[in-house]
Structures are given as C-alpha cells and as structure tokens.
Amino acid sequence: MATEFEQAIARATSGDDDGRIVMGMLPGATLIVPSQSPVAADFEGLSPILFDRDGVPMLAVYTSWQRVGSVASYAMTMTGEQVLSRMPPGVGLVVNPGHAEGFEMPPEGIVKMRADLGSAPQRPAPPE
C-alpha cells in the first residue's frame, strides 16, 4: 500500500498533480535514511548511502521500509525537514532511487527548500 507521500509523487510524475504539492509535503514526510553502520537515536554512527550523479553526491532516502530492500542493513527514520536540515552543502537528494515513485533534488534545490523552511544546516551536538 502506497503512502500518501508516494501517491502524491506518483500523481506529480504522471502530470496529474503539480510537483509543488510534493515539495510542500516533503518536510513533514516520514523518510527512511539507509546507513552503512548502526545508528543511535542521536544520529551517532549514521553513515548514509550516497549516489554519484555526474559528479554530484546525492543522498538516498526512501518513503517506506519495503522500498529500502537490500540497500543497507541499517536505517533511521526521520522527517523530511530533519533530513534537509542535516544535509551538507553540495549534496542533493534522491527519494526512492530505482523506483517509479521517486524524484531527485539537486543541491541548489536543497538550499532553496532549507531557506524556505528557515533552517540552516544542523549538526548533532558533539559528545561531552
């Protein structure tokens, strides 16, 4: 069963809806961030999966656990806003890579969306 966010992506991809609806839903969407290592609740150990798109690193996220498949043994659930606020400059986003209900956002799109949300990049606090 597709999530509401996946349904919106499918409608936008088919031209039945405006992509701005998807962008409006992204900050509140639940996303699965695959990791190459175990992840603690404070994001410690998060080693996200990055794809290269013509020399641009792209962070892979998924809209459901079923879509993650065998991409990674570990993952963390975050909101879209949490993901966007923690992305370093120069990195884009790939939602559901390899699936029809997906899309890519270049680094410039991340910067714009973060500005629209009023959030600068955040890093977890260093351990004391």
Q: What is the reported pLDDT for 119?
A: 57
What's the rounded Cα separation, in Å, for the pair 117 and 27? 8
- Residue type at position 51: F
What is the tens place of the pLDDT at every residue in 6-46?
Answer: 899 999 988 887 788 899 999 999 999 999 899 888 888 88
Q: Is residue 98 part of a domain?
A: yes
Residue 76 lies in a domain: yes
What domain count does the chain have? 1
Select from 124, 28, 34 the least CA-distant residue to 79.
28
Sequence-separated (6 or more) residues with CB below 8 Å from residue 42:
124
Please report whether residue 119 resides in a domain. no
CATH at 10: 3.40.1350.90
Has residue 121 got a pLDDT over 60?
A: no
Q: Which domain holds residue 77?
A: 4-113
Q: Label residue 108 by pLDDT band (50, 70, 90).
A: very high
Tell me the per-residue pLDDT of 36-74, one tens digit each, with 9 for 90 and over. Answer: 899 888 888 888 989 899 999 999 999 988 888 777 889
What is the signed CA dihedral for 118, 45, 109, 58, rounded to 10 degrees? 180
Q: What is the pLDDT of residue 56?
A: 96
> What's the confidence (pLDDT) of residue 18?
77
CB distance 97 to 68 below 8 Å: no
pLDDT at res. 124? 46
